[in-house]
Amino acid sequence: MESMHYIGFDIHKKVISFCEKQADGSIVEQGTLRATRTSLSNWAEQRKTIWCGAMEATMFTGWVYDHLDDYALELSVAHPEMLKAISAAKKKNDAADAEMIADLLRCNLLPQCYMAPTEHRDLRRILRYRNFLVRESTRMKNKTAGLLMEVGAEYSKSRLPGKQYFQQLLDSLDYVPESVVDMLKMTRTGVELFTSLQKRLLRKLHSVPEIRERAALLMSIPGVGQITALSWVLEIGDVHRFNRINRAVSYCGLCSAQKQSAGKDYRGPISKKRNKHLQTVLIEAAKLAPRWSPQLAEVYERECSRGHRNRATLAVARKLVAYMLVVDKTQQPFMTEEELLPVG
């Protein structure tokens, strides 16, 4: 039986460095490829021995992983924050990085991270793009208000998003430069375009039965809306990879980094090692959730009594994570403690 070969990849925008090793650590082949599907296919078809591969998680990793998945016996993706052996090395270049990844894979020391299925990553990309459009739409709305304030125009903030009111406002601006009116029309066109696009993307996400069903169960939790539920489903992926609530809380970036030495424990600010997309959505949801849930309102008031509103918001967000983790794992609608108690 032919021995297994281990290949490490260092992926960049235009080139991919690779290092192929045997189980004893001897180098079989080392080189550089163009970062194209044709080059990868030609290279992979020349492999005469079964092999396992590993690569660091970057913005280019997804398509390379999908393309090589049919050729390799197994592919792994390494967590970039945990690959300290590469960044701490005295000699650091593409060839050395690929060789180090191959060694970590060969010795079973590679810090692997979760790689969602291709279909799941495609849907997650749609949701992130929708959130990007919402941010751009907000910027356009703020720009509209800024232009009106610059020329001293009077307007109603609550009615400004209305199409009919905006047209009436434009007709009354006979005392402002024509260039300002043109810019107001352009920003309004941008807002309407972004709004229609983000609604279309949401309809695309809801057309997937599995995603729609999981999100519907999560929305049974008071304070969890459509965007929060979709963000949880698409950013978490396989919920069973979190065996404890505190692991999910850490992944969502709702806890601080811990440093302990000589029996002294120090907690710093919120850790930057998190899923920033999920963190943003959960914190925004936690600001409104106490209005809809007495349990979450109690958590918020208890933390606020200690004198820190931001910590109270984080406490609510952590409670939301606990609720969503249980609902997503059990596939049962949310029930309060009173509803769970037996009658009589």
Q: What is the pLDDT of residue 86?
A: 67
Same domain, 181 and 263: no
CATH code of the domain in which 72 resides: 3.30.420.40
Same domain, 165 and 124: yes
Dihedral sign for Cα atoms in the order 146, 148, 154, 159: negative
Report the amino acid identity of residue 52.
C
HSE-CB for 141 with a 13 A CA cutoff: 18
Report the amino acid identity of residue 21.
K
**Whole-prediction pTM:** 0.85
How many domains is the chain partitioned into structurally?
Answer: 3
Domain boundary among 158, 176, 207: 207
Same domain, 221 and 196: no
Same domain, 214 and 317: yes
Residue carrying structure tokens 């999560």: 218
Eight-class DSSP state of 139: H
Is 233 within the bounds of a domain? yes
Same domain, 333 and 298: yes
Is 238 within the bounds of a domain? yes
Is 113 within the bounds of a domain? no
Q: What is the pLDDT of residue 230?
A: 94
Same domain, 190 and 263: no
Is 112 within the bounds of a domain? no
**pLDDT tens string for the chain (344 positions)?**
358 999 999 999 999 999 999 999 999 999 999 999 999 999 999 998 999 999 999 999 999 999 999 999 999 999 888 887 666 767 788 898 899 999 999 999 999 989 999 999 999 999 999 999 999 999 999 999 999 999 888 888 889 888 899 999 988 888 888 899 999 999 999 999 999 999 999 998 888 899 999 999 999 999 999 999 999 999 999 999 999 999 999 999 998 877 777 677 777 777 778 899 999 999 999 999 999 999 999 999 999 998 788 889 999 999 999 999 999 999 999 887 666 545 44
Q: What is the pLDDT of residue 1?
A: 38
Long-range pairs of 203-207 with CB within 8 A, sequence gap ≥ 24: 204/126, 205/123, 205/126, 205/127, 205/130, 205/230, 205/234
Same domain, 91 and 135: no
CA distance 49 to 34: 22
Same domain, 135 and 97: no
Which residue from 340, 253, 249 is spatially nearest to 295, judged by alpha carbons?
Answer: 340
Q: What is the pLDDT of residue 66?
A: 94
Same domain, 272 and 156: no
Domain boundary among 207, 228, 261: 207
Q: What is the pLDDT of residue 85?
A: 63
Query: Is the separation of the CB atoms in 16 and 32 below 8 Å?
Result: yes
Domain boundary among 55, 83, 106: 106
Same domain, 218 and 241: yes
Same domain, 257 and 319: yes
For residue 29, give its domain range.
5-106
Is 111 within the bounds of a domain? no
Beta-carbon contacts of 146 under 8 Å, excluding residues fewer than 6 positions away, are: none
Same domain, 242 and 166: no
Q: What is the pLDDT of residue 344?
A: 47
